[in-house]
Structure 1
Amino acid sequence: MLKLVLTGIWVCAVTLGSVYFSMQYASAPVISEAEAARRASEEYVPGEIITVPVIKDGAVQGYFLAKLSFSATREGIADLHAPLRQLVTDELYDMLLGSKLIDVADTRSFDLPSFKGAVKDGLNKKLGSEVITEVLVEQLEYLTKDDVQRVANSQNMPHQKPVPIVDRNGKVAADRIPEGAVKADGGAH
């Protein structure tokens, strides 16, 4: 019994010692004062999901879905005449639909860093100063018109055969078999 108590005390002492020393040697990442001041002066602004139709040859070819969030200066946000989220959404529509910033249908030529830079520069130009400090991409998708129709028609879900209802004795309840289902004996209903 004494060995068991001493073993328990030893295990507790080793555990507490290892926790103490690991906490002493663990340190938070070192951030410069300039970086800390910059982070303190910025605010995270969550974006909204926007859907931009891709129109080619007078017809809708697909849809570009985007959800972008932003880091912005607190001073810049305070000086705005309208909420930042609505200004950003409006400018994104202008950039993506009005000025054809990118060809979203051509995914091979899409360059994410240049897209983020163009969005940041365009937003800061519209806002009149360096309000946006960073563009954060949460979602970018391109859906063709066929993709949207397939989802709308639920064609993306695999078709399953109906399962007949079987009682405790293993007999199929014939009055509950859906039309076109296969009976347990292999015959069609």
Structure 2
Amino acid sequence: MIKMLALAVWASAIAVLAGNAASKWQEAKASPQKAEAAEHAYEYRKSKVINVPVIADGALLGYVLVQFLYGLDSKAEKLAISPDAVLMDEAFRTLYGDPHLDFRHLEKYDMDGLTKKLAVALNARLGEGAVKDVLIQDFSYMPRNETPR
């Protein structure tokens, strides 16, 4: 009886130690990937909708309504200025001053170039690597006669 009890304790101890060793081995195997992912963790935020007036020949034609999604470095929480404010400023300046933006043919506009330009401008103003990328959530045009009063 004592031999069977000792055998049961010994087998249980071996099973517990083997399970513990296997979990430590798996954790050590995955920790370099976790550390690398933690270094480059980005939090995606949605900007407010930006209304950019479209003016041609001295007349207001309508508004461009744009909303962006951008990946902000999770360590960039301590920025002196809000990334939303910087994004809205850069987007407004870019869209308002772009002579290639033709609202009758939006399918021909370089959206990829716009998002890359905004990401570069944000990184220049917030610090290199603060913004991973900028995505377009919504991009539409509202003629002046359809605006709510």
If the TM-score is normalised by the length of the shorter chain, which range does it land in? Answer: 0.5 to 0.7
Residue number in structure 1 paired with 2:113? 114
Aligned to 1:89, the other structure's residue is in SS state: helix
Residue number in structure 1 paired with 2:70? 70
- Per-residue deviation, residues 83-126 of structure 1 (Å, max 9, x unmatched): 221221122212222x3275152414212222221221222223
- Gap change, CA 1:59 and 1:119, over 3 Å in 2: same
TM, length-normalised to structure 1 = 0.52
The structure with the greater share of residues assigned to strand is 2
Unaligned runs of at least 5 residues, structure 2: 1-31
Aligned to 1:137, the other structure's residue is in SS state: strand
Unaligned runs of at least 5 residues, structure 1: 1-31, 154-189
- Shift in Å, 1:144: 2.1
Question: Which runs of 4 or more aligned residues in structure 1 lie more than 4 Å from their structure 2 counterparts after TM superposition?
Answer: none
State the alpha-carbon separation in 2 of the partners of residues 125 and 89 from structure 1.
15
The structure with the greater share of residues assigned to helix is 2
- Gap change, CA 1:128 and 1:56, over 3 Å in 2: farther
- Gap change, CA 1:34 and 1:142, over 3 Å in 2: farther
State the alpha-carbon separation in 2 of the partners of residues 47 and 38 from structure 1.
24
Q: Does structure 1 conserve the Cα–Cα contact (< 8 Å) formed by 2:68 and 2:137?
A: yes
Q: Does structure 1 conserve the Cα–Cα contact (< 8 Å) formed by 2:87 and 2:118?
A: no
TM, length-normalised to structure 2 = 0.64
Aligned counterparts, 1:96-115, within 5 A: 96-97=95-96, 99-100=97-98, 102-105=100-103, 106-115=105-114
Residue 111 (structure 2) pairs with residue 130 (structure 1): no
RMSD over aligned CA atoms reads: 2.8
Aligned counterparts, 1:10-159, within 5 A: 33=33, 37=37, 41-78=41-78, 80-97=79-96, 99-100=97-98, 102-105=100-103, 106-146=105-145, 148=146, 152=148
Aligned to 1:48, the other structure's residue is in SS state: coil
State the alpha-carbon separation in 1 of the partners of residues 113 and 92 from structure 2.
17
Aligned residues: 117
Q: State the structure with more CA Rg.
A: 1
State the alpha-carbon separation in 1 of the partners of residues 93 and 35 from structure 2.
33
- Per-residue deviation, residues 48-91 of structure 1 (Å, max 9, x unmatched): 0111001111111121001101111123342x212221221122
State the alpha-carbon separation in 2 of the partners of residues 102 and 34 from structure 1.
44
- Gap change, CA 1:38 and 1:116, over 3 Å in 2: farther
* Percent sequence identity over aligned pairs: 22
Relative contact order, higher structure (CA 8 A, sep 6+): 2
- Gap change, CA 1:102 and 1:94, over 3 Å in 2: same
